[in-house]
Amino acid sequence: MFESLTDKLSSALRHLRGVGQLSEANMAEALQEVRTALLAADVHFKVAREFVERVQAQCVGQAVLKGVAPGQQVVKIIHDELVRLLGEGATGLSAARPLRILLVGLHGSGKTTSTAKLGKLLKKRGYTTPFVVGCDVYRPAAIDQLEILAQQEALGFYADRVSKDVPAIGAAGLAAAQAANADAILFDTAGRLQIDQGLIEEVKRLSARISPDEILLVADGALGQEAVNVAKAFHEALALTGLILTKLDGDARGGAALSIKSITGVPIKFVGTGEKTGDFDTFHPDRLASRILGMGDVVSLVEKAQEHMDEKEAERMAEKMRKADFNLEDFLAQMRQMKKLGSIQSIMGMMPGMSGMQIPDGAEAQMGRTEAIILSMTPQERRKPDLLNGSRRKRIADGSGTKIVEVNQLMKQFQQMQQMMKMMKGGGSGMKKMMRQMEAMKGKGGFPGL
Ligand SMILES: Nc1nc2c(ncn2[C@@H]2O[C@H](COP(=O)(O)OP(=O)(O)OP(=O)(O)O)[C@@H](O)[C@H]2O)c(=O)[nH]1
Ligand SMILES: [Mg+2]
């Protein structure tokens, strides 16, 4: 899905990724290419223009992250803008029980298939008895199609093969579903070749009878901007609560998915990606953005750097150090955060007075053993290392595949570190004592685990 867009975006960003310095010239060129790629994917021209403007504005104002090239940060900015475009925020369904969902849309957009697909998905998500109601009275085969799918997915089913009174059929279906204790009731409706007043009026009358919690428009994603126009018209008439974008598996270029939320304000809630009932999923803007960009590696690298920069967390740690109540749990958390970035040198840089220290060979493996030791402790032991008596240390050594002397060593070094923090807290003369202490620690390999 969206391969062509992915190719074009990748090539637009490829040469930016490695650059050490962003200039107005190389940015402008890359962003122009991004805009062209979006337009070629049939993204609405206004949406494409605003997209590029937003990216540009953020590139100018970005804080420089350590360990990440500026071009990589641009990739991340574009990723986040894609997520925003695809529709951030809540895309879940109403919590009402039974949950009443009305599916509407043009002819052949995938309503009947999506009704069954959604029933199946809801079952997977914990609904026990989804129920489908056939309200398409115009095509005789429509009811059979829904019935077969309902049987196949073991969903409750109601239809009336005689009546043509759609609102009455809906009401009867609702009653049947309630009698069957359904916790989700899905109403499949008839499509039209194009939006016409008759269709809208009928759906409105049906809607009035069944009071749906969700009105979902099923839109063919392969239609590009046409799907956006359809969504706009349906939304004006019916106040949609969400969209199901189908046929994203085919030759969909991405334009509908990328423009529909920002043009209509209606969130995409589900996507259809194939003909089988399992080819259907909750819509995840972030996942799709990553796929479109095809640069998940860069995005996660920048995210990690940002996580690392997480100021609140850093502040919390600094506060703990100041108060000298830095325990083994904090230590473990710190160590893991660093490990994500893959650098021991950076953890050293964060610890008081450790930045200049040499890292001995085998430090990485040692760090792994240190982690194993801490993991073998109970949470209580991590918070209160004083609890660690002989028998507990033996248990921890066994559990972590290390020796008691290693556990003892770690504890000793950790205590030294705590002492050091206490001295820092004392300030003045404490600092001098700390310097002496540090000299002593350096000789022994210093920092716990290294
Ligand atoms: N590849 C693909 N095909 C789909 C998808 N969703 C639906 N289809 C196919 O599209 C065709 C129309 O689907 P229906 O569910 O019958 O569409 P509908 O909106 O109920 O059509 P009408 O009732 O005639 O208005 C069927 O052949 C489906 O198998 C999808 O996500 N991907
Ligand atoms: Mg149908």
**Domain assignments of the chain as residue spans, ordered by start:** 3-89, 99-282, 310-443
- By the 10 Å C-beta count (0-12 exposed, 13-18 middle, 19+ buried), 418 is classed as middle
CA gap 297, 13 in Å, rounded: 14
Domains 3-89 and 310-443 share a fold: no
Find the ligand nearest to 105 CA: 1
**Contact 272 CB / ligand 1 (< 6 Å):** yes
Q: At what angle do helices 428-443 and 404-426 cross, to 10 degrees?
A: 160
Least confident of 44-48, 88-92, 218-222, 327-331: 88-92
Which ligand 1 atom is at minimum distance from the Cα of 109?
Answer: 19
> Which whole number is the average pLDDT over 376-385?
88
More confident residue, 256 or 149: 149
**Nearest residue CA, atom 13 of ligand 1?**
110
Task: Give pTM, 2 decimals.
Answer: 0.69
Q: Ligand 1 within 6 A of 70 CB? A: no
Q: What is the pLDDT averaged over residues 298-325?
A: 66
117 CA distance to ligand 2 middle (Å): 13
Sign of torsion over alpha carbons 327, 333, 336, 338: negative
Atom 7 in ligand 1: residue holding the nearest Cα: 110
Asked if the 310-443 domain carries CATH number 1.10.10.10, the reply is no
Locate the ligand 1 atom nearest the alpha carbon of residue 191 and give its number.
25
Cβ–ligand 1 contact at 274 (below 6 Å)? yes
User: Residue 314 has what pLDDT?
Assistant: 63
Separation of alpha carbons 361 and 339, rounded Å? 17
Q: Does residue 67 have its Cβ closer than 6 Å to ligand 1?
A: no
Whole-number pLDDT of residue 433: 56
382 lines ligand 1 (CB under 6 A): no
Matching CATH number, 99-282, of 3.40.50.300, 3.90.1150.10, 3.40.390.10, 1.10.275.10? 3.40.50.300
pLDDT value of position 414 = 82
Q: For residue 280, give the 3-state DSSP assignment.
A: strand
Residue 234 pLDDT class (50, 70, 90 cuts): very high
What pLDDT, on the 0 to 100 scale, is given for residue 36?
93
Between 211 and 198, residue with greater pLDDT: 211
Quickly name the fold that domain 3-89 has. Answer: Four Helix Bundle (Hemerythrin (Met), subunit A) (1.20.120)
Beta carbon of 123 within 6 Å of any ligand 1 atom: no
Cα 178 to middle of ligand 1, angstroms:
28
The rounded distance, in Å, linking the Cα atoms of 51 and 139 is: 43
Task: Dump pLDDT digits (tens) for 247-280.
Answer: 988 777 888 889 999 999 999 999 999 999 999 9
For residues 16 and 30, is the Cβ–Cβ distance under 8 A?
yes
Please list, in sequence order, all residues whose beta carbon lies within 8 angstroms of the beta carbon of residue 262, skipping any fewer than 6 positions away. 44, 47, 50, 85
